[in-house]
Amino acid sequence: MSAPQKMGALTALIEGGLNPGHMMPGTGATSIDATVNMTRHAIQHRCAGVLMLPPFYYKDVTDDGLFAYFSEVIQKVGDAALQIYIYNIPPVTKINLSLSLLERLTKEYPKTVVGMKDSSGDWAYTESVIKLLTFPSFFTCNQRESSCYQHLLSSC
């Protein structure tokens, strides 16, 4: 779907009665402008947060490049209501989000970069994120239900 189609679908769902406070639309795109537009749209509709992929079109992006991408999106959106949950899905994006990148983002934007959905399938990585970035200031969600018990124990 294109960015306008995604924004139209979000609007239709909300107009259809779904509570935007329970929604976290995916706004990551290959273009900063598309990401910014979809993110602003979600904020204008008072969505709980956004799920943001890294710029997956480009491969072998450095941590500095990834930081610059997220930082530019945050600056261009320019809204204190922005809550980003970074979507880590390296089997699809071919981008591995380093712990140092996540730590840098959360230190620079502690009220904006508030969580991550980890679909890496690598429990050791997920656990290291949980241990580094403490709940409740940073929430990490793992894709595998089988890891829920481990996740809860690591968060304690």
Q: Which of 6, 69, 85, 87 is catalytic?
A: 87
The distance of Cα 88 from the centroid of its chain, to the nearest Å, equals 8
Q: Which of 6, 69, 85, 117 is catalytic?
A: 117
- Encoded tokens for 50: 């956004």
Scanning the structure block, which residue is given the tokens 């259809």? 16
Residue 69 annotated to the active site = no
Tell me whether residue 58 is one of the annotated catalytic residues. no
Characterize 77-105 residue by residue with b for buried, 16 or more Cβ atoms within 10 angstroms of its Cβ, and e for exposed.
beeeebbbbbbbbbeebebebeeebbebb
CA distance 88 to 79: 23
Q: What is the DSSP letter of 22?
A: G
- For the annotated catalytic residues, the residue numbers are 87, 117
